[in-house]
Structure 1
Amino acid sequence: MVDVLQNYVQDAMSLVRLHRTDADNHDEHGTTDYGARRRATERQRFRHQMKEQEKQSYDRSLYQIKETPLQPVTIPSKPLTGLSCQFCAPSNNERQLDPELVKQDVIDILRVGTYNQPKEIESNSIFNWITWFPFLSHCLNTRRFPLPQVADSVMKDERLKNAIKISVEKTVEELKATASDEIDEDELYEQTLKENTKRAQSLLLDMRSKISDRLLRFASLVLFKLLPSFMSGVVAHPAHIDMLKKTAAAKPDVPLIFLPLHRSHLDYILVSFILLNNEIRAPIVAAGDNLRIPFFGALLRGLGAFFIKRKIDPVAGKKDIVYRAVLHTYMQHALAANHNVEFFIEGGRTRTGKPCMPKSGVLSVIIDALNGGTINDALLVPVSVNYERLCDGNFVYEQLGEKKKPEKFTSAVKAIWDILNSKYGQMRIDFNEPFSLRELMTVFEKCSDASPETTGPPKMLKHSNSARRLKHQPSTSSLYGTDVVDEEHRTLVDSIARHVVYDCATATACMTTNAVAFLLLTRFRDGDTIDVLADALDDLRKTLQGVRAISFTGDSRDVIEYAANLLGSTLISIEQQNDGKKFVKPVAHIRSFIELSYYSNSLAAHFALDAVVMCTLLKLKKESDSSEFHIEKSELMQLCRKYCDILRYEFIFNKPCQKLDNLLQDSYERLKEQGLISIPSEIVSADEQRARRFYAHLTDDSSEDGYDARSFDKITVALPPESKGKREVLSSVLAPYSHTYMAVIRSLESLRDYGLMENDFIKVCVKQITNQVESGNCKYGESISTDTMRNCMKMLEKSHYIKVSIAGGARIVTLNKKYDTIDGVQEITQGIESIVTY
C-alpha cells in the first residue's frame, strides 16, 4: 500500500515538473522546446524503471527470509546469584532453576490479585464476592500443612532422662562435698531428681513452639494490610520461589533448614509470610528469649517461634546440662516430625551491617540428628535478607558503648506505632539454592586439608569416618552433638557454618541506600554535586553488574535523591547551589557516620579482598616513597595473607573449599585489568628469557642449580595517577577498621600489671578512638564501633597477645606474661603497624 501511494505521489510530482518545464521552455514568441520535454519524459521513465527494479529485489529478499527456517535466538539470561557451590554440592546444577523464570525480574509478594483464586471458586458465580477481597481469599485458600506439636513427647525421651540423671548425680556430689554434716544420700537424690525434672518441664513449656495454621493465616492477612503502609514492597525472585516449591514437592520427607542473615525482628516474620503464601511449609523458628514478652511472645510462639536463652549457661564455666538437653531433644523431635526449621546462624542481629561470624551450636544439633539417624538428610537453604532502611531503628548507641536496652511490651508497642507512621522503602529476600547436608558433610570429610596458609576458615577434615564415630556417641547435653567434643567435629560444623554465611553474604542484593552510603563514605565524604555522584554510581553499578544482585533501576540521579530522602536529612543533606546544581554530602556527625556505615558495610564485604591487596600496595608505595617500587610477588601475597589474618573476625574472605591465595591472586589481576595498578614492561635479554623458561620446568628441589626464584618473582608496580580516586575508594573500605584496631592496640597499655574488666577496657578503647576523631587525626567517625573492638580483642586473644579469663562471673582482660611490659606492648604495636594501613 505504501508503494502504491509513493507511485501516485511521484506521478503527480512528475506532471508538475513537466508543466514547469513547458512553461520555462516557451520562448518569447510563445513557441515550445519539444526536445527538452522529451528529455524530461525519458528521465521520468528511467526513474520508474529503477524503482521497479528496487521493488522486485526487495520482494525477492522478503521471499527468501520467509522461506528460510527460523534460527533459535539466544537471549542472555539475567545473572542470578545464590547458586550452591559446585564443589561442595556437586549434585546441584543450574538446571534446578527454570530458565524462563531466571530471565524475569523480582516480584512483589504484597501484590495479590484475583488470579490467585482457585479455578473452582472463580467459575462459581456464588463466590464472585470473594474476588472483591483478594487478600482474604488468598489467605483462606493457601495450602494447609500438618504442624504437629512435639513438646509432649520430649519429656519421655531417654536422652533427656539420662541428662537429668547426670545433672542430679553431679549436684549430689557437690552437696556432699560441701556439707559439714552427714546427709541422707537417697533422700537427697530423690529430692534433687524431682527438682530437676520439674525444672525440665518448666524449661520445655517456656521454650516450645505452638505453631498454628490459623494464626499463620490471620497474621498473613494482617501483614498484607499493614506492610504497604510502611514498605514499598517485599520482593523475591520468582526463580527462587519456584525452585523451593519444586524441592519441597520432590523431597517431602526431608526438612528444609532456612539460614537467614539476621538484620531485623521482621526477618523471621517475613520469611514465614513468604513461604506460607507460596504454599511452602512454614518453619519453626529459633528466637531469643528476650522476645518472650507479654502478648508479643505468645503471638510469635503461635507463628512458630521457640525460644532459646541468649546465655545458655547461667554460671560461667559450668554447663547447664538440663537446659542443653531440653533444647537438644526438642529440636531432634521437631526434625523427626518433619518440621522445617529456621534459625539465624549469626546468633543475633548484625550491629554493623556486615555479616557476623557464625554461631554453630544449633547447626550441630541438626548434624547430630543426621548422624544419629533421626533424619535421613536435611536441605540447607541460605537466605539473604536486606532492607533499604532498617525498621528496627539503628544501633548507634550500642556501637558507642552503651548497653542494649531490653525489649518490653511498652517499647514494642511504641516501636510498632513509629514504624507504621514511617517509610522504610523496599525489603528484598533471596532464597539461595538448597543443598544436601549429607552430601556436604561427605565432601568435607573426604576433602584433604585446605592450604595451610589459608587464614580465617578452619581446615576441612581429612578423615571420612568421623561421622560414623560421632553416631555412636549421642549427646545428652552438648549443643555440639557429643559429650566430648572432638576438634574434627567442631571443625566440620564450623566449616559448614562459615560456608553458609559466605553464601548468604555474596547473594545479598545491593539496595539503593547501600550504594549511596558506600559512595559517600568511601569517596565523597566532603560531598559533591549530584551529577558527579551519579557518574560514580553508574561506575559502581557497572562494577557490580553480573557479580552482585542490584535491587534498583532507573537514572542514577533519581536513585541518589530517593535514597537520601529515605534515609533522612539527619544522615544525608541535599543543598541547592547558586548555579542551580544540587550538592549532596553526608552529615558531618559521629552518629550519622556510624549509621551510614551500617548501610555501606553491605558492600564493604564485597570489596574486602580487593581492598586488602590495594592497601598493601599503598603501604609499600608509602614506604618506598617513589612512583614505582619493586617487590617480590610472593612477598606481596604473604603480606596480604597477614592482613587477612588480622581481619579474620571482620570478614569471611573465602569459603572453606577455596584457597585464599587463589582469591588474592584474582584480586591482584582484577586491579591490573581495571587500571588501578600497572606493571611496567621490562626489557629482558634473550639469555634471561631462556633461563626463566628453563627454571619454570624445574622442581622446588632444583634451586641448587644456580637459579634464584626470587629474581623471577620480582615485579615493578606503578600506581597510575588517573586511577587515584578509585584507589582511594578501596583504601577507604578498610581504613575505619584499621583505625579501630590501632586504637585497641594503643589501649593495651592500660592492661599492664593488673588488667581490666572487659567492659572497662572497651570504654578505654572507645575513649581512645573518640579523641582521635574529635582531634581530626581520624576522619572516620564510624571507627567508633564496639563490635569492631571486640573482634580485634578476639584476634589478639587467638594470637596469644592477651588473655580473657572469668572471675566471679566477670570477664577479665589481661596481657600475656610475655607482653606485660612496655617493650612487649611496643612489640605488639610495631607488629600490627607493619601490616595495617590507616
Structure 2
Amino acid sequence: MVDVDILDSTGHNEAPSDNKEEMNIVSDMIRFRKDPVQFMKNLNQHIAGSSWRGYDEYFGHPLYYPEVTEDVINRTLHHPVLQKRIKDLVEIRMQKEQSWILTANQRLARKEEFTSWITYIAEGLIAKGIATYDHKSILKFMYFVVGQIFARCYHQGVHINSEEVARIRAKAKELQAKKQSLVFLPCHKSHFDYMAMQFICFRIGLSLPVVVAGENLNLPILGYMLQQVGAMFIRRGNWSQDYLYQGVVQSYLETILKEGYNLQCFIEGTRSRSGKLLPPKFGILKYILDSILNGHIQDTWICPVSTQYDKVVEANSYATELLGKEKIQESLMGFLDSRKVLSLRMGRLDVRFHDPWSLKGWVIDQLSSDAEIRALSFPLERPLAKNTHTKVLRSLGYRILADINKVSVVMPTSLVGTILLTCSERGLSMNQLSRRIDWLITKVHEAGGRIGTLTTNYNSGSDPHFKDPEAVILNALRVLGTDLVGVEEKGLLETTYYPKDAFRLSYYRNQVIHLFISEAIGSIAIFTQIRRTGNVIVSKAAVHSQVQFLSTLLAGEFVFKPDGLDNNINDTLSSLHRQGILTAHDEASDIVEMSNAEMIREGEVFDFYCYLLWPFIDGYWTASITLFALAPYKRVPANLFYNMAQTLAKTLYHEGVIAHYEAVNKEMLKDAFQYFEQQGILIRHVDENRKADVSLAQEWIPKVDSKGHFIPSGKLYEFSEAIAMSRNRPLRHSLIPGMTSRVFELLREVGQKLEVAKL
C-alpha cells in the first residue's frame, strides 16, 4: 500500500503537483477483516502521527496550542458587541429598581453585582457552545474512526479534485499571512456532511474550520469530542428574542473571523430531503455580512462547497417524511450506531470546491451602483437601508447556491434516475438506457456541468478513467437497489428496467434539474401554447408570457440565472433551436415552431425537458385547488391544512387525476403555499404561542351557488386553470378544465373534513 501524501516529500504543505485531477482520500483505509496486517500498519502510522497524520503543519490559523480555548473565550467576552449587550441588560435591570430606596453606594454595588452575574451567564454560554481545540489526540483518533466509516459506507471512495485542492491550499497560505478566514459553505444532504469537511481539511493540510452545528449534537462525551475538532453548538429554532445569546453568537463569530479562524456552516440550514438545493438560510450569513459592513473584520473569503453522493443513507427516512408520515427524531450518534449503516455499499462521495472569493470585494461590487452610498469604505458612513441590506443578503445567499451548482458533479445514480423518470416509455432496455445516458452526459457537459468519474472498478490500481457505459449503469443500478429500479426479464425479448419507486428515485433526478431549468420551463411554456392553440406554431409573445408565469410560480424551487428574464428566454429559445427542438426562424420573427426533426423522433428531447418539471407543476396545481377547501370563510390550523392537501394529492394520484406521485411531496406543497402567501392569496395568522392558522384572502374566495357548489369562475379558479394548462395531460384533454366535477366533489369533502377537525 503506497502512502499517498498530498504534502511534498519534505513534509511541507506545498500545492500538490500530481497531474491526476481526482484523488480518493480513503484509499488507505483498509478493513481489518480484509487485510489485518495492512490495517495494523495503517493504525500504527496514525498513532505515531507519521507524515500528514501528525497534523503538525497546515495552512490557516494555528490550533491546538496551550490556552487556545481560554484565549478565544476571553476575546469573545470582551468583544464590544457583547459588552454593550451586557451593559444594556444591566441598565434595564437598574431602571426597574429605580423606585427602590437605595443609597448611591448600594446602587453601585447592585450594578456591579448584576454586571458580574450577566457576565458569568455570558461566559457560560460561550464555553458551552464554542469550538475547543485543546487535544490533538482526539482529532487524530476521530480522523481514523471517521475514515473507517467512510471507507465502509462509501466503498468506492471519497473523491476530491486535486486542482481545486491546490487552489484552496494556495489561498489558505495567502490568507494565513493576512489573518483572514476561509468560510466554507457546503450544501447539506446527509449526516455524513458533518464529518466530510473536517476529514478533508485534516487530510489536505488546512486549519480545521469552526463548524456551526445544532445543540442537539451536544451530547455527553460526543459533544465534547466534536467541540475538540471544531463544532460550535448553537440553539435550534428562533432565538431572535434572546438579546444576550444573540450577542454571544455575533461576538464569537466576529472574534474568530477577525483572528483568521476558518468557518463552516450549511447554507441551506437543514438537510435537503428532495435532492435539490433548498433556499438559503440567512442567520449565520447575516452575521458574516454584517461583520464586513460594520468594519469589525477586514475581509473574509467565501468558498462554496458541493457534496454529492451516489446514494444517501437517509434516503428512506427522507421519503417517509415527505410522504407525511411522522418524523422519527434522529441524532448523529443514533445514525452512526446502526450496524446496517456500516455494512452498506453506497458507491462514492464526491466533494468539490468553488474558487474562494472576497466577500468585501463582492459587497463593494453590489453597492457600487447605489448612488446613496457615497464612500465604499468600511464601516459605512451610515447603515444600509433595511430593504438594501435585505437585497444584498439575499443576493449573497443565492450567489452561493449558484456557485455550489456550478461545481457540483452529476453522479451515475443521478444519470440513471433522471433518464428513467423523464421518458414517456414505461421501461427501457439496457441498450436504450445506455444510449440515453450517453446523450444525457453530452447534455450535462453542454450545460456546463460535470460528471463524476465513470469507473467500473474502484479497487486500488484500477484505471480511474476507464469507461464502459453498460458496466457503469449496472454499478449504479446495484447502488440504487431493486427497491428503486425494477428489473423485468421473464417472458420478454430484452431485460427491461423501470422506475419501481418513482418517489424515492426523484431524489436523484432532482440533483440534475438545475442544469436544465431554463430549457425545461421554456419547453413547458411551448407545450402549454401548443395545447391552447392546437398548433405546433405558436406566438413568441405568448411563450414569453408563459415563461414569466412559470418562472415566478417556481421561483422558490430553483436557482435561476441572474441575467434577467428577457435574456434568459432568448438564450433558452436559442438553445432549443441548436438542439433541433425548434425550427430556426429569423431573430425578428414573432413565432416559435416545433421542428419536423423533433416530431420525427417523437418528441424525445422535448419530453425530457417537460418531464423534469411536470411533477412540480402537478404539485403546485394540487396546492392551488386545495385553497378552494378554505371557502367561504374558513380559518384552520396550518399543519392540518397541509396534511389535508397531501391527502387530497394522494387521492388525485390514485384516481388518475394527476400523473406524478412526486406531487404528493409534503415539502413541495408547503413551498407552494409559501408562494401563495407571498402573492397575498393565502393569509397566515400567528398567535402569541407561535401557532399558525391559514385562511383565504377576501378577494380570492371562490363563489358558491345556492346548493353550496363551487362556481367555476373568479380569480382563484382562473389561477388554478392557468397552472393546469401546463400539466402533463394528453393534448386531447386541452378543452377539458383541470377542475372537473369530480375534483370539486373532492374539494367539498376536504372542506367538510377541515370543518370537523377544527371543531
| TMscore range, shorter length | 0.7 to 0.9
Q: Does 1:714 align with 2:590?
A: yes
State the Cα deviation string for residues 57-106 of structure 1 (Å, max 9, x = none).
xxxxxxxxxxxxxxxxxxxxxxxxxxxxxxxxxxxxxxxx99987x7431
Q: Does 1:274 align with 2:197?
A: no
Q: Does 1:435 align with 2:357?
A: yes
C-alpha separation between the residues in 1 aligned to 2:94 and 2:376? Answer: 35
Residues 608-627 of structure 1 mapped to structure 2, 5 A cutoff: 608-626=517-535
- Counterpart for residue 695 of structure 2: 814
Q: CA offset at residue 171 of structure 1?
A: 7.3
Aligned with residue 634 of structure 2, among 754, 758, 779: 754
Is the CA contact 2:180–2:259 (under 8 Å) kept in the aligned structure 1? Answer: no
- Counterpart for residue 298 of structure 1: 224
State the Cα deviation string for residues 716-749 of structure 1 (Å, max 9, x = none).
4135312412211111111111111111111112
Moved more, 747-756 or 251-260: 747-756
Letter in 1 for 2:167: M
Q: CA offset at residue 610 of structure 1?
A: 0.5
- Counterpart for residue 804 of structure 1: 684
Is the CA contact 2:16–2:162 (under 8 Å) kept in the aligned structure 1? Answer: no
C-alpha separation between the residues in 1 aligned to 2:198 and 2:119? Answer: 34
Q: CA offset at residue 792 of structure 1?
A: 1.0
Q: 1:406 to 1:630 in 2, by over 3 A?
A: closer
Q: 1:111 to 1:751 in 2, by over 3 A?
A: same
Q: CA offset at residue 280 of structure 1?
A: 1.2
Q: 1:816 to 1:517 in 2, by over 3 A?
A: same
Is the CA contact 1:740–1:784 (under 8 Å) kept in the aligned structure 2? Answer: yes
Q: Does 1:736 align with 2:608?
A: no
C-alpha separation between the residues in 2 aligned to 1:260 and 1:168? Answer: 39
Q: 1:400 to 1:825 in 2, by over 3 A?
A: farther
- Counterpart for residue 323 of structure 2: 400
- Counterpart for residue 707 of structure 1: none
Q: 1:835 to 1:778 in 2, by over 3 A?
A: closer
Q: 1:371 to 1:527 in 2, by over 3 A?
A: same
Is the CA contact 2:130–2:232 (under 8 Å) kept in the aligned structure 1? Answer: yes
Q: CA offset at residue 593 of structure 1?
A: 2.3
Q: 1:291 to 1:549 in 2, by over 3 A?
A: same
State the Cα deviation string for residues 18-49 of structure 1 (Å, max 9, x = none).
xxxxxxxxxxxxxxxxxxxxxxxxxxxxxxxx
Q: 1:528 to 1:328 in 2, by over 3 A?
A: same
Q: CA offset at residue 319 of structure 1?
A: 2.1
Letter in 1 for 2:453: F
Q: 1:319 to 1:821 in 2, by over 3 A?
A: farther
Q: 1:294 to 1:830 in 2, by over 3 A?
A: farther
Q: Does 1:833 align with 2:727?
A: no
Letter in 1 for 2:503: I
- Counterpart for residue 646 of structure 1: 553
Moved more, 348-357 or 371-380: 371-380
Q: 1:170 to 1:770 in 2, by over 3 A?
A: farther
C-alpha separation between the residues in 1 aligned to 2:524 and 2:550? Answer: 9
Is the CA contact 1:749–1:825 (under 8 Å) kept in the aligned structure 2? Answer: no
Is the CA contact 2:424–2:607 (under 8 Å) kept in the aligned structure 1? Answer: no
Aligned with residue 222 of structure 1, among 137, 145, 167: 145
C-alpha separation between the residues in 2 aligned to 1:442 and 1:676? Answer: 42
C-alpha separation between the residues in 2 aligned to 1:99 and 1:336? Answer: 29
Q: CA offset at residue 130 of structure 1?
A: 7.6
Q: CA offset at residue 821 of structure 1?
A: 4.3
- Counterpart for residue 568 of structure 2: 663
Aligned with residue 416 of structure 2, among 507, 511, 516: 516
C-alpha separation between the residues in 1 aligned to 2:84 and 2:175? Answer: 34
C-alpha separation between the residues in 2 aligned to 1:786 and 1:754? Answer: 22
Q: CA offset at residue 531 of structure 1?
A: 1.3
Aligned with residue 784 of structure 1, among 657, 664, 668: 664
C-alpha separation between the residues in 1 aligned to 2:423 and 2:42? Answer: 52
- Counterpart for residue 709 of structure 1: none
Residues 543-622 of structure 1 mapped to structure 2, 5 A cutoff: 543-545=443-445, 547-553=448-454, 554-578=467-491, 581-587=494-500, 592-622=501-531
% same residue: 22
Letter in 1 for 2:656: G
Residues 424-463 of structure 1 mapped to structure 2, 5 A cutoff: 424-447=346-369, 463=372
State the Cα deviation string for residues 162-191 of structure 1 (Å, max 9, x = none).
223434556788x899xxxx8779799888
Q: Does 1:111 align with 2:20?
A: no
C-alpha separation between the residues in 2 aligned to 1:472 and 1:105? Answer: 47
- Counterpart for residue 233 of structure 1: 157
Q: 1:172 to 1:781 in 2, by over 3 A?
A: farther
- Counterpart for residue 411 of structure 1: 334
Is the CA contact 2:637–2:692 (under 8 Å) kept in the aligned structure 1? Answer: yes
Residues 483-498 of structure 1 mapped to structure 2, 5 A cutoff: 486-498=386-398
C-alpha separation between the residues in 2 aligned to 1:771 and 1:597? Answer: 20
C-alpha separation between the residues in 1 aligned to 2:333 and 2:348? Answer: 27
C-alpha separation between the residues in 1 aligned to 2:168 and 2:245? Answer: 34
Is the CA contact 2:184–2:264 (under 8 Å) kept in the aligned structure 1? Answer: yes
Aligned with residue 583 of structure 2, among 660, 668, 678: 678
C-alpha separation between the residues in 1 aligned to 2:320 and 2:375? Answer: 45
Residues 76-91 of structure 1 mapped to structure 2, 5 A cutoff: none
Q: CA offset at residue 398 of structure 1?
A: 1.5
Give SS of 2:204's match.
Answer: coil
Give SS of 1:795's match.
Answer: helix
Is the CA contact 1:506–1:548 (under 8 Å) kept in the aligned structure 2? Answer: yes
C-alpha separation between the residues in 2 aligned to 1:282 and 1:258? Answer: 11
Give SS of 1:605's match.
Answer: helix
Q: 1:98 to 1:666 in 2, by over 3 A?
A: farther
Q: 1:214 to 1:370 in 2, by over 3 A?
A: farther
Give SS of 1:813's match.
Answer: strand
C-alpha separation between the residues in 2 aligned to 1:462 and 1:795? Answer: 32
Count of residues paired in the alignment: 658
Letter in 2 for 1:796: F
C-alpha separation between the residues in 1 aligned to 2:353 and 2:164? Answer: 6
For structure 1, the 5+ residue unaligned runs are: 1-96, 114-128, 448-460, 474-481, 682-695, 697-711
Q: CA offset at residue 290 of structure 1?
A: 2.3
C-alpha separation between the residues in 1 aligned to 2:676 and 2:546? Answer: 18
Give SS of 1:834's match.
Answer: helix
Letter in 2 for 1:210: T
Letter in 2 for 1:812: D
State the Cα deviation string for residues 677-727 of structure 1 (Å, max 9, x = none).
22468xxxxxxxxxxxxxx9xxxxxxxxxxxxxxx5521413531241221
Give SS of 2:515's match.
Answer: coil
Q: CA offset at residue 640 of structure 1?
A: 0.9
Give SS of 1:277's match.
Answer: helix
Is the CA contact 1:346–1:357 (under 8 Å) kept in the aligned structure 2? Answer: yes
C-alpha separation between the residues in 2 aligned to 1:659 and 1:230? Answer: 43
Q: 1:462 to 1:787 in 2, by over 3 A?
A: farther
Name the larger-Rg structure. 1
Q: CA offset at residue 195 of structure 1?
A: 6.2
Q: CA offset at residue 536 of structure 1?
A: 0.8
C-alpha separation between the residues in 2 aligned to 1:305 and 1:525? Answer: 49
Is the CA contact 2:618–2:659 (under 8 Å) kept in the aligned structure 1? Answer: no
- Counterpart for residue 674 of structure 2: 794
Give SS of 2:451's match.
Answer: coil
